[in-house]
Amino acid sequence: MSLSAVDRFLPAVFSGRRWALPPTLRYVFGRILGALLVLLIGAFIVFLTMKAAPGDPSLSALGEQAPPEAIAAFRLQHGLDQPVITQFASWLGQIAHGDFGNSLVVASGRPISNLILSRLPTTAFVGLYALTIAVLSSLVLGTVAAVWRGKMADMVATSIAVLGISMPDFFLAYMLILGLALGLGLFPSYGFVAPGDSLLGALHASFLPALAIAAPMAAVFARTLRAALLEVIRQPYVTTARSFGLSRAFTFLHFIFRNALIPYVTIVGLQVRYVLGGVVVIERIFGIPGIGSLMVDAAFGRDYPLVQACMVTFLAIVLLVNLLVDIACTGLDPRRSR
Residues that bind another protein (CB under 8 A): 1-2, 4-5, 38, 41-42, 45-46, 49-50, 52-55, 149-150, 162-163, 165-168, 170-171, 174-175, 177-178, 182, 227, 230-231, 233-234, 273-278, 280-281, 284-285, 295-296, 299-300, 302, 307, 310-311, 314-315, 318-319, 322
Distance CA 43, CA 20 (A): 33
Report the alpha-carbon distance of residue 58 to residue 278 in Å, rounded: 31
Angle at 154 between CA 148 and CA 159, to 5 degrees: 175
Output 24 or 60, the one with its CB closest to another protein: 60
Nearest-approach distance from CB 70 to another protein, in angstroms: 24
CB of 264 to another protein, least distance (A): 16
Q: Kindly tell me which of 41 and 92 has the beta carbon lying closer to another protein.
A: 41
Handedness of CA 238, 240, 242, 246 (dihedral sign): negative
> How is residue 105 annotated by DSSP?
S
**Among the listed residues 312, 271, 299, 322, the one whose alpha carbon sits nearest the alpha carbon of residue 116:** 312
Minimum gap (Å) between residue 129 Cβ and another protein: 17
Shortest distance, position 202 Cβ to another protein, whole Å: 23
**Is 57 or 195 the residue whose CB approaches another protein more closely?**
57
Closer of 24 and 189 to another protein (Cβ) = 189
Question: Quick one: 256 or 295, whose CB is closer to another protein?
Answer: 295
On the CB side of 290, CA atoms within 13 Å amount to 29
Spatial distance between the Cα atoms of 200 and 194, rounded to a whole number of angstroms = 10
Closest distance to another protein from the beta carbon of 271 (Å): 10
Q: Which is nearer to another protein, 42 or 202 (CB)?
A: 42
- Tell me how far the alpha carbon of residue 231 is from its chain's centroid: 28
| CA atoms within a 13 Å half-sphere pointing along the CA-CB vector of 200 | 0
Task: Tell the smallest beta-carbon distance from residue 305 to another protein (Å).
Answer: 12
Residue type, 114: N
